[in-house]
Amino acid sequence: MLQPSRKQNEAPAPTAAGSGRAGLMLALATVGFAVNFWAWALLSPLGPRFKDSLGLSSFQQSLLVAVPVVVGSLGRVPVGALTDRFGGRVMFPLVSAATIVPVLYLGLAGHSSLAALLTGGFFLGIGGTAFAVGVPFVGAWFPPERRGLALGLFGAGMGGTAISALTTVKLVKAHGMADPFLITAGVLAVYAVVSAVVLRDAPGRTVPTEPLGRRLADTLKLGITWQASALYAVTFGGYVAFSVYLPTYLKTGYALTQADAANRMAGFVLLAVAMRPVGGWLSDRVGPVRVLTGVLAVVLAGAVVQSFTPSLAPVGTAAFLAMAAALGAGSGAVFALVALLAPASKVGSVTGVVGAAGGLGGFLPPLLMGSLYGAYGSYAVGLALLAVVAAAALAFTGTGVRHALTRRVPAARTH
């Protein structure tokens, strides 16, 4: 009997000899993601410092840390489509090299006024587009049954924000404003060179031939694009929102010092990062819908608890850590869903749109939290809104996403 042919939109599975190369490519992509996210998050730990030195309002401070997030998010749409066309071997060095310019500008000249910081922060958003390069690049190196874990491991590169949280404030205090930016620029330069020399795209990678505009239009017609976008806006968006706003929240709501707040934010980030591969691994075994159902229930419960502003030890800390673990695992599960259902030739384009939704999900909450705190002197309303959004996402996962997955999984894999 004839064996079923491999689907045209799937790359050949790596051979045993190629598995080592796939692991190396995964490791290099993860490092690139982490380095670019480190640069992308440089302004967040310094938000309270700029608020004091420049006399910023709560809304202006929120805007300052949110601008790189929204630019990096929207930029993922064209960068993801370009990665489908040119591959990660071209796009990783290009994005890394381009991010060096705003990093140097902010460290050497662009921190003396709000306008200068917003200008630098706008172009700093380039670093955030690296995510849309890595997902299609890594996914092409692994067979479908291993992509959830592989993309989860790649997603751990979002821990670059923890590097920024742990080092930026300390370096500024010890050596001055320029140091963290100069160090980050140097690391970006080294990675750009190494990736240009070492990275290779997967053998048999599907290269689209359609024009960019048509590919994006076709991507927007896919159901998985919108389903994953909605879920990623909650999971990864929640992670981004907390990672950029948590220092301000803890400093304002619990009167912590800037350094203590930054360290606690780093703990939140590291736990979320560690759980992202777990979310992908679990999705490979029990399915992404079950994982998403569980993690969204945890986010809902954590947001409800924290909306009452409990004492930080132990209830508030437990609530934030539970949400960190859930948001990290949920982010991994969303891209296990994308890897399962998106056509291989459009993974980059789908990733770009979904990644943009996730980043936008992280852009709005800091602005909203700053505005609500300015109006009510409390963060309770903002956290209650997070609980409502998590409940809506939970209901959507159990209905629309579950039904879509049930209909399409038989057609999505070749056994």
Q: What pLDDT does residue 368 have? A: 81
**Residue 70 pLDDT:** 82
Count other C-beta atoms under 10 Å from residue 294's C-beta: 18
Instruction: Give the torsion sign (CA, 126, 75, 331, 133).
Output: negative
Per residue of the chain (415 residues), what is the pLDDT tens digit?
A: 333 333 444 444 554 445 788 899 999 999 999 999 999 988 888 888 888 888 888 778 878 887 888 888 889 888 988 888 899 999 999 999 999 999 999 989 888 888 889 999 999 999 989 988 998 899 889 887 788 888 888 988 887 877 887 888 889 888 888 899 999 999 999 999 999 999 999 888 777 777 878 888 888 888 888 999 999 999 988 887 887 778 888 888 888 887 788 788 878 888 988 898 899 889 888 889 999 999 999 999 999 999 898 888 899 999 999 999 999 999 989 988 887 777 777 777 888 888 888 878 877 787 788 788 888 888 888 889 989 999 999 999 988 788 877 776 544 443 3
Cα distances (Å, whole numbers) of residue 211 to 76, 84, 91, 136, 215: 17, 11, 18, 18, 6
Phi-psi map region of 309: left, alpha, beta (phi>0 left; psi -120 to 50 alpha): left
Are 370 and 59 spatial neighbours (Cβ–Cβ below 8 Å)?
yes
Instruction: Could you please state the CATH topology (level 3) that the domain comprising 217-410 is classified under.
Output: Growth Hormone; Chain: A; (1.20.1250)
Closest among 335, 378, 354 to 237, alpha carbons compared: 354
Please name the fold of domain 21-201. Answer: Growth Hormone; Chain: A; (1.20.1250)
Looking at residue 27, what is its pLDDT? 94
The number of angstroms, rounded, from the C-alpha of 117 to the middle of its chain's C-alpha atoms is: 22
pTM: 0.76
- Sequence-distant (6+) residues with CB within 8 A of 114 are 50, 54, 56, 60, 64
Peptide bond just before 314 cis, omega within 30 deg: yes
Instruction: List own/partner pairs for 142-146 with CB under 8 A and 24 or more apart.
Output: 142/14, 142/22, 142/26, 143/13, 143/14, 144/10, 144/339, 144/340, 144/412, 144/413, 145/284, 146/284
All CATH 1.20.1250.20 domain ranges of the chain, comma separated, are 21-201, 217-410
